Amino acid sequence: MIQPHPEASNSDEFKGFDEARRIMWCHDARARVYERFEQTSFIGDTNIAAVHVDNTRRADRVSLVAFDKAGQQVGVDTLYIDEPHQHLDIAPEFDHDFTGMDVIPDSPLKQAISRENGWVVNMKVLREYEPLVDRRSTQRAVFLAHLQDMMKNGEVRGFLFGRGESDDTDAA
């Protein structure tokens, strides 16, 4: 059995690392959803308001059912999963519940949601997603999370924020 380093047993020791890992997992989920949806015609079709992602029925594929603003089914697609990293787990930033998307009562979309065999993507939010902007903000957030650990351990005592120009107001 592998024993952890005695100093590493304190759960507070690497808070920044744990936070950075959580930030990266969230980014990976968002990026994966966007990349996989780019393989469909759904992103370009502005008549599609929501897509139900059935990621529970089969391990080798994800069934997608598209719905319009009235909650009526307007299309279907299947994304095959050849590698585990292709699975479409929930990305809260795109989920209909978290984005406050309106769902018409008694519509086929509402019925799909009630079956609880997947999750629903708010396509308006997914279309507004900017992968490059998200990647850059994730890089900054990960750096700042690691910085917390480095400052605590004395590996870093000061740093500058900015675009490379020396300015005493940027020092921390």
Q: pLDDT by residue (tens digit) across 29-80?
A: 999 999 999 999 999 999 999 999 998 888 889 999 999 999 999 999 999 9
Rounded Cα distance between 166 and 78, Å, is 53
Which among 74, 47, 79, 84 is positioned nearest to 64, based on CA atoms?
79
Answer whether residue 169 is part of any domain: no
Averaged pLDDT for residues 153-169: 60
Answer whether residue 105 is part of any domain: yes
Conformation bin of residue 100: beta by default, left when phi > 0, alpha when psi is -120 to 50: left
pLDDT mean across residues, the chain: 83
More confident residue, 141 or 102: 102
Tally the domains of the chain.
1
Which two structure tokens, joined as six digits, stand for 23?
């930030």
Answer whether residue 164 is part of any domain: no
Answer whether residue 121 is part of any domain: yes
Answer whether residue 69 is part of any domain: yes
What is this structure's pTM?
0.76
Rounded Cα distance between 160 and 146, Å, is 15
Q: Residue 6 pLDDT more than 50?
A: no
pLDDT band at 148 (very low <50, low <70, confident <90, very high): confident
pLDDT band at 136 (very low <50, low <70, confident <90, very high): very high
SS3 16: helix
Dihedral over Cα of 32, 35, 41, 42: its sign = positive
Which two structure tokens, joined as six digits, stand for 171?
């020092």
Domain containing 93 equals: 12-153
Q: Using the structure block, give the residue that is written with the tokens 């609880």.
A: 116
pLDDT of residue 116: 85
Rounded Cα distance between 155 and 147, Å, is 9
pLDDT band at 165 (very low <50, low <70, confident <90, very high): low
Answer whether residue 3 is part of any domain: no
Rounded Cα distance between 144 and 4, Å, is 25
Answer whether residue 6 is part of any domain: no
Which two structure tokens, joined as six digits, stand for 89?
């787990």
